[in-house]
Structure 1
Amino acid sequence: MTRPHVLLTNDDGIDSPGLAALYEELRAVADVTVVAPADNQSGVGRSRSRAVDVDDHEWGYAVHGTPADCAAYALRGLEESFDLVVSGCNLGPNCGEYLIGHSGTVGAAVEAAYLGAPALAVSAYHRADFFPPDGITFDVPATVTRELVERLPGSGVFDAADYLGLNAPLEAHGDLRVTEPLADYDVEVREATADEREQHEGAIRLESDYWDRLDQPDRYPTLERVAEPYPAWSDRAAVVDGDVSLSALSIPQEPVHAHAIDDLVATYNAEVSVRAPAADDD
């Protein structure tokens, strides 16, 4: 059987231990080319650059740009073909509709999907500390990813989905669960405190609450403390339970057709007069 060719990227940067763990694990089942950001690009979503510098790397290429830049450069700029794009392994979970859109890890997968390549975005979480503590390895999520990558060819998954979102624990885990991203976003706007102003962070704070607007004393609550609000089908519930969350997703901006839109357009055309006059037949 021909080994698949995997494009490996991320948003934590090419020197990230999460990317190194995936590289070592995936090489057992695939040919792997790394095209990853030269430095940390967390939280940039699907931002793209118009021009980037690219350096050679022992595993492939380091791009001075965003994760989406990496996917675009590899899929359109290299004289190679890829069977799958894997983005990760991200430092921290990517759960919920808003956070998924905010993630550079997912952004690379979305860019790949737009360019016609199947993709898998991989994120790692730690149930007790939210973000992985120092010294912990990415061996478990890397192994989960390899097991999935081995089973994806011929599965028909990408006949239905454009890309997959995976959240795997850093330690022993439960089942692999089919999930959906939870829609749970709000933002708090307030004046900065004196301490925040001293840090030159701006006079107004715009704080997104990715964790369901719970009144938590610290910025990143532990996952067990926020378990109650999440429905069982959601990616966040799977993460709280210590399971592996797998969401099959399509690229965004799909058109929606509704009678209300038809009615709005018809009313506008009938009632609004500030439009260019019809062309004169003469």
Structure 2
Amino acid sequence: MNLPADAPSVSRPAPRLAAGVLALGVHAVFVLLLVFGVSWQTQHPAPVMVDLWETLPKVVPPVAAKPPEPPPPLPVKTPEPVKAAPAPKPVVDEPPLPKAPDIALEKKKAETERLQKLKAIQAEEEQVRAEAARKAREKQLAEQKKRELLRQMEEDLMQRTADEEAASAALAMKQAAERAAAGKRQAELARVVGQHRDQISAKVRGNTRLPDNLQGNPEVRCAVRLLPTGEVQSVRVTQSSGNAAYDEAVVRAIEKSSPLPLPADRDARAAFVPELSFVHRPKE
């Protein structure tokens, strides 16, 4: 480079010294950053890339009137913030693997529990079947008892019907016998009463003194009060014959015939005692 004649002369050692001082300052700053970065981190920081120059930059001599400008500072790369390392996972104590005898014991225990559960299930099923069988038996017995009860009721009804029919037949026979006996008794009583009426009429007729002027066959009715022994207490005419002499002759004949013949049977005697309705005709 050709300089004008009147240009001042510049010594070169000065710029080189300044550049060297600047470079040393930059290195010192980096060293401080590294020291403080290491002290702030709990772990090793990430590597920092630093560009190192093999030679110092050339200093351009200042132009005539202007003093030479210092070279721009070297670019300093800001170190990336170191990411915090993830917290270590807590160490969990894992149970030790069972030994061979423990495994066999666990298997035996599990098999025992399985057998117990199986037995419990079988026992429950047996209980359910037994309960069902018991209910079936109870139902069968109840139905059988019901059938027996119905059969017994039918037999009782048939027996009661037969008894009622037999009783009805017996009652009918008894009533028929009673009616027959009563008829027979009434016939017997009527016969006895008729006989004693005839006897009384014959006795009274034997004691009657008919008047001479009596004509025809006049009828006279008298009410005769009698004692159970047949003795006459009183006689009164209830229906006159129209002939006073004949009526009086019949009354005297009844009184003269006392005691009148009465039947010994009490029922037959009831037709005469206490009062007898006596009818008399002279020609009968």
Q: Which TM-score band (shorter chain)?
A: under 0.3
Relative to its length, the structure with more strand (as a share) is 1
TM-score, structure 1 as length reference: 0.15
TM-score (norm 2): 0.15
Larger radius of gyration: 2
